[in-house]
Amino acid sequence: MSAGRERGAAAAKINLALVVGPRRADGLHEVATVMQRVGLRDGLELEPARRLEVAGFAEDTLVREALRALAAAAGVEPRWRIRIDKQIPVAAGLGGGSADAALALTLANRCLAQPLAKERLGALAARLGADVPFFLEPGPKLAEGAGERLTPLRLPQEYTVLVVLEEGRVKRSTGDVYSRFDELGGGPGFEERREALLAALTACGRPSDLAVLPPNDLAAAAGGSALPARLRELGAFRADVCGAGPAVYALFAERRDAAAAAARLDAGARTWVVDPVW
């Protein structure tokens, strides 16, 4: 391994659309989802150490797992110390753990005497979790299959995002949300809904065109929320649940309108006014 300290920022994601199909033979669900990074970030700092240490976020498991997997693939000992400055809400549907794992892989890979090739690093990321490969490369993407098939997208970026986490909202595990989706009868008509998503993507030339993307199929299974409708009343041209929830996002044409909407929400809600990031 090379000496030196590596730093970076891991951005959260929102799902601008999430179409979910039936459960496959391997237990996973077919999905077609549009993933966009936003400017809500964790900070990571990695340096050589005598043994693997993860500091700053006691609940981490995925970063530790990622670094161990990278070391095993490279044939070295996982001798890194990484500090996580956690700003992305945990278990909110914003992909913070996956973003951190992807950045940890990138930073540690730079420190290797013989870094893994891009394709090999991507395969390793896919074994860690369906969302991790998305965070290895910049730009919004269409994720298909179980989330591992990624297609870069050119989407408008001139809007403001309001992320909201309501007080008292607790996330069910992602597995539980998908099971509830099955119980509610979700899945049929997936191919038609997927085709509708692809058609809508071809028409996305302006930020307001994002409003016609299909809604999040997991919203009801995640517990449902009146907040997206409320945010649309407050001027958002699109609002929906993030991933498997419970966080909600809303898109506004102007930052001042996003800030005004945040100010009108219940005092207990946590809010972040951020930009889409590439």
Is residue 275 annotated as a catalytic residue, yes or no?
no
Structure tokens at 64: 């530790």
Structure tokens at 29: 């669900």
User: Which helix (DSSP H) or strand (DSSP E) does residue 274 occupy?
Assistant: strand 270-274
Is residue 141 annotated as a catalytic residue, yes or no?
no
Q: What is the DSSP letter of 65?
A: H
Total residue count of the chain as it appears in this document: 278
The catalytically annotated residue of 13, 86, 141, 171 is: 13
Provide the angle, in degrees to the nearest 10, between the axes of the packed helices 96-111 and 118-128: 150
| All residues at 6 or more sequence positions from 257 whose CB lies less than 8 Å from its CB, including other chains | 160, 235
The catalytically annotated residue of 42, 131, 217, 257 is: 131
Let me know: does 17 contact 197? Beta carbons within 8 Å. Answer: yes
Q: What is the DSSP letter of 173?
A: P
CA atoms of 213 and 153, how far apart (whole Å): 14
Let me know: does 135 contact 99? Beta carbons within 8 Å. Answer: yes
Q: Which residues are catalytic?
A: 13, 131
